[in-house]
Chain A
Amino acid sequence: MTEQLLSIVHLSAVSARDGNAPVLRDVSLSVARGEVHGLVGESGAGKSTIAKAILGILPGGIRITQGTIKLGGRDLLALGAHARRRLLGAEVSLIPQDPLTALNPARRIGAQLTDGLRLWRGLSARDAQTRALALLDDVQMREPARVMRAYPHELSGGMRQRVLIAAAFALDPKLVIADEPTTALDTTVQKQILRLIRAMQERHGTSVIFVTHNLGVVAQICDRATLLYMGKVMEQGTTRDLIEVPHHPYTQAVMAACPRYDRPGQELEPIPDAVLATCRAEVMAFDRAGVSHG
C-alpha cells in the first residue's frame, strides 16, 4: 500500500448560520503521495468546504463537529494557530478558482510570487527572484522577466492562472489544492491549464486535491476521486472504476449525464429524480442515525 499523505477521517461540520444544518457528513478520504484526487459534486455538495477545512480557512459560520484531518501524520485540527500557519504555509498551497481576483491588484507579480520563498525558505530578495524566474519558465510563461515587473491587470486570465500555479508550486509543497482552477477560464485555455497542473504535479511529485464539478476534468487528470452529495460521500475509488464500473446509483446517473468521447452519439440523460430521492433518503437516514446516537 502506498504511503498516505493526507487522511481525513469521519469529518463532520455544521453551518451555525443555517441552524446548525450539517454541511459535511462523516467524510473520510485519503490522498497518497503523488496522487491526484478529485473532489466531485454539485454546488453545495461540500467539496469546497473540505478544501477550506484542510487549509484552515473555513468561513466564520462553519464549525467542525468531529473528525480529524492528518497531514503527514500531524493532526491539523489539533495544532495551534501559529504552528498550523507554519505547517500549511510551507507544505500546502492553493490554486484558486478565479485568477482575476486572486492576485493583489496593487502588488507586482514578482513580489507575490516570492512571498512564500522569502517567508518560509528565508531566501534573499535576489535568490527568491532567481527562483521565481525559473518557476515562470516552468509554467511556460513567455518573457518571465517582464511578467515579474508587471501588475496583475497587465496580464490575461490564462497568464494570471499560470502565475498562480507557479506560486502554488514555488515551495515544493506536499499538497496542492486546486479549487476549480479552470472554471473561470476559456475552454481553450482550460485544457492547457489542466495539462500544466498535471505536468507540474508529476515533476514535483506533489499530491493534488482537485475540486471540480466537471467529470471530464476528473477523467483527464485524476488518479482517484470522491463523489459527494449533500456533504456525504456517495462513492470513492479510482477514476477508472468510477467511470467503467460505477456502483452507486448517483455515480451511474452522473456518468450517464456526462458527454463521453468514447461513446459518441449516446444520448445524455439528466439525473433522474428517483436517484436524487435515493441520495436524499440516504442522507436523511444518516442524519437520523446520528441524532439517535447523539
Chain B
Amino acid sequence: MLASSLIKRAVMAAVTLFGVAVIVFLLLRVAPGDPIAMMIGPGASAEDIASLRAHYGLDQPFLTQFVIWLAGILHGDLGTSISLHRNVVELLRERLPATLELAIVACAVAVILGGSVAILGTWLRGRGEGAIDAANGIMLAVPDFVWALAFVLVLGVFWQAFPLSGRIDPSIDPHFTTGFYLFESIFTGRFDLTRDILAHMAMPALALALPLAAIIIRILKDALSEAMLQDYVLLARVKGMSELRLIAGEALRNAVGPTLALTGVQFTFLIGGTVIVERIFAYPGIGSMAIDAVINRDLPLIQGLVLVFGALFILINLAIDVAVAALNPRLRHG
C-alpha cells in the first residue's frame, strides 16, 4: 500500500474518532443519570454536591467541558474516573491487554475452525454437506452470550473442565511486566502459566469465536464453491491435481479475499461481544469495566472506553484492508 493512501487513511481515522468523541460526549450529557448522585450517600448536603460537581468540572457549560476534555485527549489525558478515582488512561492500560488477548485468541479459533469446516464442506460437496449446513444454521442463530452461559453450565459447573472465572489462577503471582499475560508467558517460556491462562480463556474465547466461525463457514464455503466452478480450477483439474489441492491451492486464494473483508466487519462485533462475555466470566478486560462504568455513570471512563473501542474498530479495518490488498495481486499492483 502506498504511503499517500496510508496518510489518507490516518486522516480519515482521526476525523472518525473526532466524530465518535462528539457523539459520545453529547449522548452522555443528554442521557439521564447523574454521576454525582451515584457516588454520594442520600444524606449529602447541597454544598457537598455542588463542590463535587465543581471538582469534576461538571458545573461548566457543555462546550467548555468538551473543549477541556478534547484538549486533555491531545495531551494523552482522558481525565479521572469518577467511580474508581483513578486516571482513565492508567485504567485502560491495565485492562486493554486482557481484552486484546481474548479477542485475538477468539478470532484465531474462529478462523481456524471456520476455515477448516468450510474447506471440508467444499470437499465433501454432496456427501454430508447438509449436516454441515444444518450445524452452521444453529451456530449462526445462537449469540455469544448464550454460548457463554451454556459453557458455564456444561463445561464449567457440570464437567468442571475449565475454570469458571478470572484470567489466571488467583493463587499464582505471575510477576508479569506487561498486561499481555498469554504472550508474555509464551515468550518467556513459562508454559505452565500459558496453560493456566489458556484454560481460563477457553470458554469466553470459544463463546466469542463460534458466531464468527459460523459466518466464516457460510461465506467462505459459498466463495469456495463459486471459485471451484471457474475455468482455472477446471484446467488445474485437467493437470491432475487432487481435489484437496484444487480447493486449498487454487480456489482458496481467490475465495479468501471477500471472506476476509466480511470477517473484518464481523470481528468488530466480536469486540462488542466481549462486553457481556467478559462480564459472564468475570474476565478483567475493558468489556466488564465498561458495564461498571455505565452503571456508575462514570462519564470520563465511558468516554475513554468508547474512544478505545472506536480506535480498535478503525485499526482492525485498516489491517483487514492491508491484508486483502496483500492477498490480491490485482490490488497490490493497482
Contact = CB atoms under 8 A, between A and B. Distances in A.
A172 B253 CA distance: 29
A101 B235 CA distance: 10
A50 to B, nearest CB: 15
A3 B47 CA distance: 111
A151 B330 CA distance: 8
B231 interface: yes
B325 to A, nearest CB: 13
A120 B240 contact: yes
A116 B253 CA distance: 19
A96 B329 contact: no
Contacts of B230: 101
A86 B237 CA distance: 11
B240 A119 contact: yes
A57 B242 CA distance: 13
B24 interface: no
A106 B241 contact: no
B240 A98 contact: no
A154 B237 CA distance: 24
Nearest to B329: A151
Contacts of A120: 240
A105 interface: yes
A96 B235 contact: yes
A55 B328 contact: no
Contacts of B328: 106
Nearest to B245: A119
B326 to A, nearest CB: 11
Given A98-B231, A101-B230, A107 B253 contact: yes
A106 to B, nearest CB: 4
Interface in B238-259: 238-242, 250, 253-254
A104 B254 contact: yes
A88 interface: yes
Given A96-B234, A101-B231, A106 B239 contact: no
Q: State which size class the interface on B falls in.
A: 20 to 34
Q: State which size class the interface on A falls in.
A: 20 to 34
Interface in B204-247: 230-242
Contact of A88 (B231, B240, B242, B330): B240
B231 A90 contact: no
A240 interface: no
B239 A89 contact: yes
Nearest to A84: B240
A120 B242 CA distance: 12
B17 interface: no
A182 to B, nearest CB: 16
Given A98-B231, A101-B232, A104-B254, A116 B239 contact: yes
B254 A89 contact: no
A93 interface: yes
Interface in A45-102: 55, 57, 85-86, 88-90, 92-94, 96, 98, 101-102
A88 B239 CA distance: 7
B333 interface: yes
A197 to B, nearest CB: 16
A153 B330 contact: yes
B91 interface: no
Contacts of A86: 240
A96 B235 CA distance: 8
A85 B240 contact: yes
A180 interface: no
Interface of A: 55, 57, 85-86, 88-90, 92-94, 96, 98, 101-107, 115-116, 119-120, 151, 153-154, 164
